Structure 1
Amino acid sequence: MVALVVRRFFQLAFLLLGISFLVFASMYIAPGDPAAIIGGPTASESDVEAIRDNLGLNDPFLVQYGRYVSNAVQGDLGYSYQTSQPVWDAILVRFPNTLKLAIASMIVAVIIGIITGLVSALRQNSLLDVSATTFALAGISIPNFWLGAVLILIFSVNLQWLPVGGMSNPWYTLDGIKELILPAITLGTASAAIIARMARSSMLEVIQADYVRTARAKGVKESSVIWIHTLKNAMIPIITVIGLNFGFLLGGTIITEKVFAINGVGRLMIDAIAARDFPMVQGSVLLVAALFVFVNLIVDIIYTYIDPRISFD
């Protein structure tokens, strides 16, 4: 287990280096001049050039990238071109909202996805199975911005049961839970559909295994056959999908945060891209990438507890 963690941290270092290079290069060649955006429409050519010199934007690409990596290794991701605020401070203020949204969405996805997939597998080719398959197809196909707008229209505007948007209350309060319900459903629907499809296929494969037939032949109760012999052995691919989707949720909240006016990292990232705020974009992407690798490390560790036969040493 220790060897796995050490290997993953080395992989994380190389991965972040590669991602930082790709993001830095993408922002470098992207159209638009951040110095002109900072200076505003009234800035003269000399003012814009002075801003470029001050930010080091006139230096060669490799010099700029080397300076960025050197500072990042020391924990300095730079300062926002828009607000002059340290990038770390801006991200840490907004990250709790993104994390709360991702966790709430994953809870919705796991509950709905596993139950739907389990029922579908146990009632194969029945009306329930067809309904679950239709739900999975619809969940993957429906765009987040459309689903979010429909939920707001129904539950916030017409019924007035839930707030339209925002996330200003602690998650453990009633108001905080109400703020999370609609965005969590919006963001978690697609993941629930993917988990449901994987749970169904994995359960169908395990149900046909010899040890399941043997357990039934010995007279083991059906509930024990399902929950102990079948579901536990079907969980490996399901957990893989859950881990991947949670990583995607951490970096894929941009549209949902926009629709529900949530001040999170996704919204910060898209605003920074529009403003050519290079340090803010790079810092946000690096954080999301690091979290994605960390989540997958946790998934690998969970594997060994579910199935002791799995070893990464």
Structure 2
Amino acid sequence: MKGAAGVLLMLVGASLIIFLAANALPGDPAAVMLGTAARPDTLAALRLELGLDRPILLRWLEWLGDALRGDLGRSLTYGTPVSVLVGARLALTLPLAFLGFLLAAAIGLGLGLLSARRPGGWLDRLTTIATQAGTAVPAFVVGLCLVLLASRSTAWPTGGFPGWQDGFLPALQSLALPTLALALPQGMVLARVARAALMDVGSEDYMRTARAKGLSRGQALRRHALPNSLVAVATVMGLQFSFLVGGAVLVETVFALPGLGQLAVQSLQNRDLVTLQAVALLLVATVIGVNALVDFALGRLDPRWGERP
């Protein structure tokens, strides 16, 4: 109950910050909808219809209450329910983030195991250099580099999304480069964490016993060290999914994908506060929810996790 209450309080606090920040943006939504040539009385009537003349805290409470019931309002730009717009964009953003998560996990755990097999060797040094470089480059910069490289060939699309209804393989191919752009930086971060965790448990007595029984260092790492490193690795992996969802917004812009990122940018340009608030709240709720699930999972993996100071 304490954990659920904490999550709810964080969501309420985040919704207040999002609402205040969105309404502090310059510009008048009514003026954007009607144009600069609109008459003052027409603007006043529209502001009254949209409820923009009421106190901001009252409007926040009404918006929060509707959001808790699943009603995110109606888009000022498109005139359709925001839940419909967001649902359609999530069909792209969530698969992109999930694919990036899987690829980042494969890259991170694979490089971490290879590096920990022979500490100080040439492969370990090469991996260390690659991970340091990879963690310093943001996902959208990686995306721009991939677009430049892929533009020399017609094998991989560098922008746009055909839609899942047009075929699974074409849609998956259009997500290949964005997924790689998302996964590479996070995979390098995970590789460093995995190597450090494997090195920590590599000197334990049970590892020496496993080696004495005839297992190679690589086998001992996979069978014994990796399972005992899951707490540290799973912590980072859980946080990474939150970063991947947020990073997908920027990567979608680079690759012109019609996901939540494009919807957020269009809402900001059109001063569509209703849609912008909903997208921001959804992203924040995803981060908070994933972190809560990670805490729960880590408590299952290690009962001492819940007793940490």
- TM-score by structure 2 length? 0.91
Q: Name the counterpart of 2:101.
A: 106
CA distance in 2, matches of 1:114, 1:57: 51
SS in 2 for 1:38: helix
Contact 1:212 1:225 in 2 (8 A): yes
Amino acid in the other structure paired with 2:140: F
The corresponding residue for 2:38 is 43
CA contact (8 A) 2:260 2:279 kept: yes
Aligned residue number for residue 153 of structure 2: 159
CA distance in 2, matches of 1:90, 1:60: 27
Aligned length: 306
For the Cα contact (< 8 Å) 2:252–2:261, is it kept in 1?
yes
Q: Does 1:25 align with 2:20?
A: yes
Q: Deviations over 1:7-27 (max 9, x none)?
A: 443333211111110011111
- Paired residue type of 1:250: V
Q: 1:44: how far off? A: 2.0
Aligned to 1:52: 47
Q: Which amino acid aligns with 2:119?
A: Q
Partner in structure 2 of residue 175 of structure 1: 170
Question: How is 1:66-215 mapped onto 2 (pairs within 5 angstroms)?
Answer: 66-155=61-150, 157-170=151-164, 173-215=168-210
Distance 2:213 2:132 in 1: 38
- Contact 1:27–1:276 (CA under 8 A) maintained in structure 2: no
Q: d(CA) in 1 for partners of 2:14 and 2:263?
A: 19
String of CA shifts for 1:16-39, please: whole Å, max 9, x gaps.
111110011111222221111111
Q: Paired residue for 2:238?
A: 243
Q: Aligned equivalents of 1:145 and 1:184: distance in 2?
A: 11
Following superposition, the deviation at residue 306 of structure 1 comes to 4.2
How many angstroms apart in 2 are the aligned matches of 1:232 and 1:105?
Answer: 23
Q: Does 1:274 align with 2:274?
A: no
Deviations 1:160-180 (A, max 9, x none): 111122222439832122111
Map 1:248-267; keep pairs closer than 5 Å. Answer: 248-267=243-262
Q: CA deviation at 1:47?
A: 1.9
Question: Where in structure 2 are there 5+ consecutive unaligned residues?
Answer: none
Whether the 8 Å contact between 1:254 and 1:266 is mirrored in structure 2 is: yes
Q: Partners in 2 of 1:47 and 1:143 — Cα distance?
A: 46
Rounded Cα–Cα distance in structure 1 between residues aligned with 2:216 and 2:115: 20
**How far apart are the structure 2 equivalents of 1:301 and 1:133?**
32
Query: Does the 8 A contact of 1:252 with 1:266 survive in 2?
Result: no
- The alignment-based identity, stated in percent, is 33
* 1:188 Cα deviation after fit: 1.3
| Separation in 1, partners of 2:236, 2:55 | 42
Provide the alpha-carbon RMSD of the alignment.
Answer: 2.1
Matches of 1:286 and 1:243 in 2, distance apart? 19
Shift of 1:291: 2.0
C-alpha contact 1:78 1:279 (8 A) present in aligned 2:
yes
1: CA distance, partners of 2:163 / 2:44? 44
How many angstroms does 1:49 deviate by?
1.7
